[in-house]
Amino acid sequence: MIERLGIVGGGQMGAGIAEVAARAGSSVLVMEVNADLAERSLSRLTTSLDRAVSKGKLPESDRDSTLGRITYTTHLGDFGDRQLAIEAVTEDEGLKLDIFRSLDRAMPADAILASNTSSIPITRLAAATERPESVVGMHFFNPVPVMGLMELVTTVRTDAPIADAAEAYGSDVLGKTVIRAKDRGGFIVNMLLVPYLVGGIRMLEQGVATREDIDAGMRLGANHPMGPLELSDYIGLDTMKLVADVLFEEFKEAMYASPPLLSRMVEAGLLGRKTGAGFYDYPA
């Protein structure tokens, strides 16, 4: 049974995974690059727990015990007692490869190394280690405390007991519905989702309809909670472009190619909700 979890990256995804794991009883150690980012991550996590308390979904005592199971570090060397590590940094393959090399040196020989990547093939990350048989993808969805899905991605080198242990942690401990995917760019969800989102951006770029009508069409016509442009802003247009670029490199199919409009918006710093402006404006 996995009881000690390490998370590399305390951003939106890392903090969300930490919250869910600590609420489930795991000892969680989060690594950030400096004390300021660690403090920001803890603040984000605390705000999320306080929100759950205010809505009556979490007793105050459970919030306090959850926070008591979470600690922060700025050194990967502190992961020496962790049974599972989940990398949850930005979709930058070079950065992820560096992290996996460091985790390989820091983690116990029998530990599982996982990535929360939404698109980068796990085989590439596993090849940076001396234990490719112990590497999997554990892809969570934002916001992690709310979304009930985890994609488990295995490679041709992943040992079956490792995959089973990762799945059991996701389902039995974290309470997620776990779906298994082969190691292909985008896995299941993004392999289907990205062409849809990119298609919405192309429709706007080509003047087929306004942003409001494109989004209303999918909200009201397909019963989606958000339209493609709203969802792209929520994900972050920089992340959207990174994922689309990985998928295009993997499959060489036009439906995955970043539209020029998306590229120009990223270059202009219009990244969606995170910057206050994307396809829509988001006042502070």
pLDDT of residue 185: 87
Which residues carry out catalysis?
Answer: 118, 139, 151, 190
99, 166: one domain: yes
pLDDT at 284 over 90: no
Name the β-bridge partners of 5: 28, 84
Q: Does 280 fall in a domain?
A: no
pLDDT at 103 over 90: yes
Cα-Cα end-to-end distance for the chain = 43
Instruction: Dump pLDDT digits (tens) for 177-226.
Output: 999 999 998 999 999 999 999 999 999 999 999 999 999 999 999 999 99
Q: Does 52 fall in a domain?
A: yes
166, 224: one domain: no
119, 49: one domain: yes
Q: Does 283 fall in a domain?
A: no
142: left (phi over 0), alpha (psi -120 to 50) or beta: beta
Residue pair 41/10 in contact by the 8 Å Cβ criterion: yes
Instruction: Dump pLDDT digits (tens) for 134-161.
Output: 999 999 999 999 999 999 999 999 999 9
248, 172: one domain: no
130, 251: one domain: no
Q: Which amino acid is at 1?
A: M
pLDDT of residue 226: 97
Of the CA atoms within 13 Å of residue 131, those in its CB half-sphere come to 19
131, 84: one domain: yes
pLDDT of residue 153: 98
- Full domain range(s) for residue 235: 190-275
DSSP string for residues in 166-190 = HHHIIIIIT--EEEEEES-TTTTHH
Structural domain count of the chain: 2
Pairing of strands 70-73, 135-140: unpaired
Boundary (domain end) residue, out of 147, 182, 217: 182
CB within 8 Å of 104: residues ≥ 6 apart: 113, 128, 129, 130, 131
203, 163: one domain: no
Largest CA distance in the chain: 55
